[in-house]
Amino acid sequence: MKKHILAILPLVYGKYFNTLSLFAPQKTAKKAFNLFCTVRKGRVLPQQKKYLDPVKNTMEQIAGHRLQSYHWSGDKETVLLVHGWESNTYRWRNLIEKLQNANFDIIAFDAPSHGYSSGNKLYVPLYEEAVQYMIKKYNPKYLIGHSVGGMTLMYNEYKNPNPTVERIVVIGAPSEFHEIMEHYQSLLKFNDRVMKALDAYIFKRFGFHIRDFSTSKFALKNTKKGLLFHDRFDLIAPYHASEKVHENWRNSKLVTTEGLGHSMHQEEVNNQIVEFLQA
């Protein structure tokens, strides 16, 4: 019964948005955007506390949020880790072990509405603001992002290129915002009138249209050295996203895998990341 309710709930939202958009398109767009940004998973689980609690750093005050940061001290350059949607810093545990063995100084944080951080919504412009704050405060030389975290790093480099950052690693990240929104539309079955209202709302609030937000376009201006990982059979973010980014990112290398999935926690991935940072 619960599964049946969860299956029809998106369609209920879609019909509601379709009807409401006839009378109040701006209100509809705001509601649809807020639903899109609502985070439902990613809080720290009981079994994750033992790993995360001893390395808690400061609670950062960013954009009206309290964001939990973490620190693993090392004598070499600082690395900033940026996790993906409905995840938290615990997802980096395997890579962190490799980075510690290489004596890197490691900073990570829980995104707004994730882990120990406050809030219940996340969208890339907010995440980018948090990333920029962390870069300015901790001065990392290397950035590593997974999924929407990787997308956020590419947007950050486009919007606020930081001269102290030398290398960026992007793992399993989407590229085209319009593809994400089209998937959202197909899931809820709302009509093009709602999508048009959403596009107008996003432009008014953030200054870009849905089709303008493109990691592959951002990559055209990216002068940093980059390493991209993407599994050919990724079911969350399409493989062609990284192909497009790599094509436009002059100083990048794309590592294609098969069968490693979206999360890519595997040792072969982590070893290549450390080698890239040490090169």
Output the CA angle 206-128-54, nearest 5 degrees: 145
DSSP state of 137: H
Helix axes 25-37, 177-188, angle to 10 degrees: 100
pLDDT above 60 (res 46): yes
97-146 pLDDT per residue, tens: 999 999 999 999 999 999 999 999 999 999 999 999 999 999 999 999 99
Q: Say whether 228 sits in a helix, a strand or coil.
A: strand
Average pLDDT, the chain: 96
Q: How big, in percent rounded to 5, are the helix, strand and coil portions of the chain?
A: 50, 20, 30
Q: Are strands 65-72 and 225-231 parallel, antiparallel or unpaired?
A: unpaired
pLDDT of residue 33: 98
What mean pLDDT is predicted for residues 253-259?
A: 97
Taking the complete model, does pTM exceed 0.85, yes or no?
Answer: yes
Residue 2 has pLDDT above 50, yes or no: no
Domain ranges of the chain: 1-37+181-208, 47-176+214-278
Report the C-alpha gap between 147 and 172 in whole angstroms.
5
| Rounded CA separation 56/108 (Å) | 10
Mean pLDDT along residues 254-264 = 96
Separation of alpha carbons 77 and 105, rounded Å: 6
User: Mean of the pLDDT values across residues 58-70?
Assistant: 96
pLDDT, position 6:
40
Percent of the chain predicted with pLDDT > 90: 95
Least confident of 8-17, 67-76, 158-167: 8-17
User: How far, in Å, CA of 242 to CA of 230, rounded?
Assistant: 7
- What integer is the mean pLDDT of 82-88? 97
Instruction: Check residue 81 and give its pLDDT.
Output: 99
In this prediction, residue 10 carries a pLDDT of 82
Say yes or no to pLDDT of 42 above 60: yes
Q: Which two tokens stand for residue 3?
A: 């599964």
Q: What is the pLDDT of residue 274?
A: 98
Q: Is the pLDDT of residue 4 over 50?
A: no
Distance between alpha carbon 38 and the CA centroid of its chain, in Å? 14
Q: Model confidence over 135-155: pLDDT tens digits?
A: 999 999 999 999 999 999 999
User: How much is the average pLDDT of 84-90?
Assistant: 97
Query: Which has the closest alpha carbon to 236: 170, 180, 153, 186?
Result: 180
Which residues contact residue 176 at a Cβ distance below 8 angstroms, ignoring those fewer than 6 apart?
211, 213, 214, 215, 216, 241, 244
Q: Which is it for strands 56-62 and 252-257: parallel, antiparallel or unpaired? A: unpaired
pLDDT value, residue 7 = 53
Please calculate the CA angle 231-239-256 and round it to the nearest 5 degrees: 40
Count the residues in the chain.
279
Structure-token pair, residue 1? 């019964």
pLDDT digits over 172-187, tens only?
999 999 999 999 999 9
In terms of CATH, what superfamily is 47-176+214-278? Alpha/Beta hydrolase fold, catalytic domain (3.40.50.1820)
Burial of 207 (0-12, 13-18, 19+ CB in 10 A): exposed
